[in-house]
Amino acid sequence: MSKPKVLQVGPLTDRFQHNLADRYDVTPLWQQPDPKTFLKMHGAQFELVATSARFGCSAEQLAALPNLKAISSFGVGYDSIAVDVARDRGIGISTTPDVLNDCVADLAMGLMIDTSRKLAASERFLRAGGWLNGNFPLARRVSGKRLGIVGLGRIGQAVVKRSSGFDMDVRYHNRSPVKDSPYTYEASLVELARWADFLVLTCPGGAATHHIVNAEVLAALGPTGIVVNVARGSVIDEQALVTALQNGTLGGAGLDVFEAEPKVPEALFALDNVMLLPHVGSATEETRLQMEELVLANLQAFVERGELLTPL
């Protein structure tokens, strides 16, 4: 029996590609000399797409895939997928929820601890010989602080769970209150920022959250406040963030995501009150394996039963 055809939009790990190619007749779109022309000429062959939160599937690509039935995406974000277009055409979309909650939440805690206790900055100080000439300046306590969560979804709740071990007081901002949540809902993001010591972003990216953390929110968080972003770079107005950090009107920032990845504003490199990570929230051996398996399991369920396991 011939293998079902899959169009793969962008590269993933060698292991994933090997496992995908074992079960499917895979066309790597990014390896075509001219992917746009290739899609125009051959797009009608594909009913299945494998992609990732990074590479997505645009409206233009969907237009060139008239027979597409399902998209199985690696990652939990879907801001790079033309979801409305796909929904209108009845195309199924699956992501990889839940399996990455713990690792992304762990990283958010790491960023909170680093930016307050200045782990990386004090280590840089030690390596540069600074300790021989004096002590590192005092940092700030993490335990017992006020935690404002922006987006109390699966990952936000995993952060809250961890924060209870640090005796933190929690409030959150969402588009609407989460039913049965024991935490105080704050309808105004500015008010949440004014209250919080840490503002942790765990909301989806996309138009609805674009630049919701703006200059006003950062000013409300204030000179001792810290913003941690494990969501999408687009959620923060990056220019306003750089200005607030440079002027000291914001205390610090722990950032795993940026507006124009992999480009990071160079002005941030000069600052010691930031920790900058190359989008590694889910990047552990264990979690990435589970994500790969879930992408494959979604494709398999769709081929066998016409159903996705973890549809959007």
Residues that bind ligand 8YV (CB under 6 A): 52-54, 74-77, 100, 281-282
* Shorter beta-carbon distance to ligand 8YV: residue 157 or 282: 282
Q: Decide whether 53 or 108 has the Cβ nearer to ligand 8YV.
A: 53
The residue whose two tokens read 């409300």 is 220
Q: Of the listed 23, 117, 140, 279, which one is catalytic?
A: 279
Q: Is 211 a catalytic residue?
A: no
- Please measure the distance between the N-terminal and C-terminal CA atoms of the chain and give it in whole angstroms: 31
Is the CB of 4 or the CB of 204 nearer to ligand 8YV? 204
Angle between helices 101-117 and 285-305 (to 10 degrees): 150
Output the DSSP codes for 9-72. -S---HHHHHHHHHHSEEEEGGGSSSHHHHHHHHGGG-SEEEEETTT-B-HHHHHT-TT--EEE
| Least Å from the CB of residue 168 to ligand 8YV | 24
Rounded to the nearest whole angstrom, what is the least distance from the CB of residue 250 to ligand 8YV in the complex? 24
Question: Which residue type occupies 168?
Answer: M
Q: How far is the CB of 97 from ligand 8YV (least distance, A)?
A: 9
Say whether 261 is catalytic.
yes
Q: How far is the CB of 11 from ligand 8YV (least distance, A)?
A: 10
**Judging by beta carbons within 10 Å of its beta carbon (0-12, 13-18, 19+), is residue 89 exposed, middle or buried?**
middle
Complex with ligand 8YV: residue 77 or 225, whichever CB lies closer = 77
Of the candidates 232, 238, 259, 288, the residue annotated as catalytic is: 232
- Minimum Å distance from CB 248 to ligand 8YV? 30
Numbers of helices and strands, H then E, in the chain: 11, 12
Active site residue 279: yes
Supply φ then ψ for residue 126, to 5 degrees. -65, -50
Selecting among 60, 123, 216, 261, the annotated active-site residue is: 261
CB-facing half-sphere around the CA of 238: CA atoms within 13 A? 17
Contact 218, 240 (CB under 8 A): yes
Between 194 and 279, CB nearer to ligand 8YV:
279
Three-state DSSP at 121 gives helix
Q: Quote the CA–CA distance of 285 and 287 in Å, as a whole number.
A: 6
Q: Which of 60, 64, 122, 204 is nearest to 212 (CA)?
A: 204
CB of 74 to ligand 8YV, least distance (A): 6
| Residue 54 or 211 with smaller CB distance to ligand 8YV | 54
Residue positions annotated with a catalytic role: 232, 261, 279
